[in-house]
Amino acid sequence: MSAPQALLRGRVISAHGRHYIVEFEDGSLRQCYPRGKKAGAAAVGDHVNVRPEGRDEGTLDSVETRRNLLYRSDDMRSKQFAANVDQLLIVVAVEPTFSEDLLGRALAGAWSADIEPVIVLNKSDLAAGLPAARQKLATLAGLGVPVIELSAHDTNGVRAALADRLTGKTNLLLGQSGMGKSTLLNALSPEAGAATREHSQALDTGRHTTTSTRLYHLPAPGGDLIDSPGFQAFGLQHLSSKEVEHGFPEFAAPAEQCRFYNCTHRHEPGCGVLAALAAGRIDPARHALYARILDDNAAGMRY
């Protein structure tokens, strides 16, 4: 009998139910299965240790400690899907109208996990609607979120606007339907665009497919991009109240003035956040969103 092979360290680049495609440092791929129930909880972006089996399979031995773990919510369910994300690219567009509530939730999800958000304002060629879209984003731009205007139809323009920001990072792409996420993905990585087109064609023809999250390597200057077809909203209900608060960075300085250390910034006397709200230094819509997320979580509702 030959001795068991040594463990190999790799990164999960796609997940289909309980089997994973893992990529190793030499660029090789293996289809991997979790060994026990405990090893089953890997997500795309996880660094894992794999025991090779045969030429191109392996068992998942362990998942390394992750920097963050993100949940997506679909049909009232929430499930983990991406890990070790550095930057979130949120695609909105001049038209159709985007939801400010979903955008605010996406930002809260990013900030609560220490991920830098970037807003991509797509369809900048639709010039008539551009001032109104900019206006809707003004509060967030004022908080320091980069807002990058581009047209996803202009491939060279997309690369010029984004390539340097994406390099050296694991980026996660998020967008409501119709914002142009697929067009943008195709401009950034034709390989990724082709894979998602195949996926949606399969859905149209009724062939069985499972929605799969995938990590793509971007062409030079590089960077990784995670696409999760249909990903429109984070699941936030696993967040504690403090983590939700962390999703609203403009609360941090005024919260230092709160009388109570466990202030929820909703009705307490001597609350620095409510004082900043009353003085117009915190946007009322942002505070209302914060309260909605806390209420949803308290009610056990799922987004």
Ligand X SMILES: Nc1nc2c(ncn2[C@@H]2O[C@H](COP(=O)(O)OP(=O)(O)OP(=O)(O)O)[C@@H](O)[C@H]2O)c(=O)[nH]1
Per CB under 6 A, residues contacting ligand X are 122-123, 125-126, 151-153, 175, 177-183
Shortest distance, position 292 Cβ to ligand X, whole Å: 25
The answer to whether 37 is annotated as binding is no
Nearer to ligand X among residue 84 and residue 151 (C-beta): 151
Q: Report the Cα–Cα distance between both ends of the chain, in Å, rounded.
A: 52
The answer to whether 32 is annotated as binding is no
The answer to whether 1 is annotated as binding is no
- Which of Zn ion, ligand X, none binds 151 (CB below 5-8 Å, type-dependent)? ligand X
Separation of alpha carbons 10 and 196, rounded Å: 24
- Which of Zn ion, ligand X, none binds 126 (CB below 5-8 Å, type-dependent)? ligand X
- Which of Zn ion, ligand X, none binds 263 (CB below 5-8 Å, type-dependent)? Zn ion
For 138, what's the count of Cα atoms within 13 Å in the CB-facing half-sphere?
8
Nearer to ligand X among residue 123 and residue 159 (C-beta): 123
The answer to whether 79 is annotated as binding is no
Query: Residue 239 contacts by C-beta under 8 Å, 6 or more apart in sequence?
Result: 112, 247, 293, 297
Q: Given the rule CB under 5 A, which of 22-30, 47-55, 134-142, 267-275 is the region that contacts Zn ion?
A: 267-275
Residues in region 225-264 near Zn ion by CB under 5 A: 258, 263
Q: How far is CA 118 from CA 56, 145, 175, in A?
A: 37, 6, 12
Q: Which residue in the block uniquely carries the two structure tokens 């009998």? A: 1
Phi (first) and psi of residue 189, to 5 degrees:
-150, 100
- Structure-token pair, residue 31: 């289809």
The answer to whether 124 is annotated as binding is yes
- Which of Zn ion, ligand X, none binds 136 (CB below 5-8 Å, type-dependent)? none
Shortest distance, position 289 Cβ to Zn ion, whole Å: 16
Kindly state whether residue 273 participates in binding Zn ion, applying the rule CB under 5 A.
yes
Three-state DSSP at 127 gives helix
Q: Which stretches within the chain are classed as H helix?
A: 100-112, 130-136, 138-142, 155-166, 181-188, 190-204, 241-246, 252-255, 272-278, 284-298
The answer to whether 222 is annotated as binding is no
- Which of Zn ion, ligand X, none binds 178 (CB below 5-8 Å, type-dependent)? ligand X
- Which of ligand X, Zn ion, none binds 182 (CB below 5-8 Å, type-dependent)? ligand X
Residue count of the chain, please give it.
303
- Structure-token pair, residue 269: 């006397």
Phi (first) and psi of residue 235, to 5 degrees:
-85, 125
The answer to whether 262 is annotated as binding is no
Phi (first) and psi of residue 263, to 5 degrees:
-60, 135
Nearer to Zn ion among residue 48 and residue 273 (C-beta): 273
The answer to whether 181 is annotated as binding is yes
Query: Which segments are annotated as binding site?
Result: 122-125, 175-183, 258, 263, 265, 271
Q: Which residues bind Zn ion (CB under 5 A)?
A: 258, 263, 265, 271, 273
Query: Which segments are annotated as binding site for GTP?
Result: 122-125, 175-183
Query: Which segments are annotated as binding site for Zn(2+)?
Result: 258, 263, 265, 271
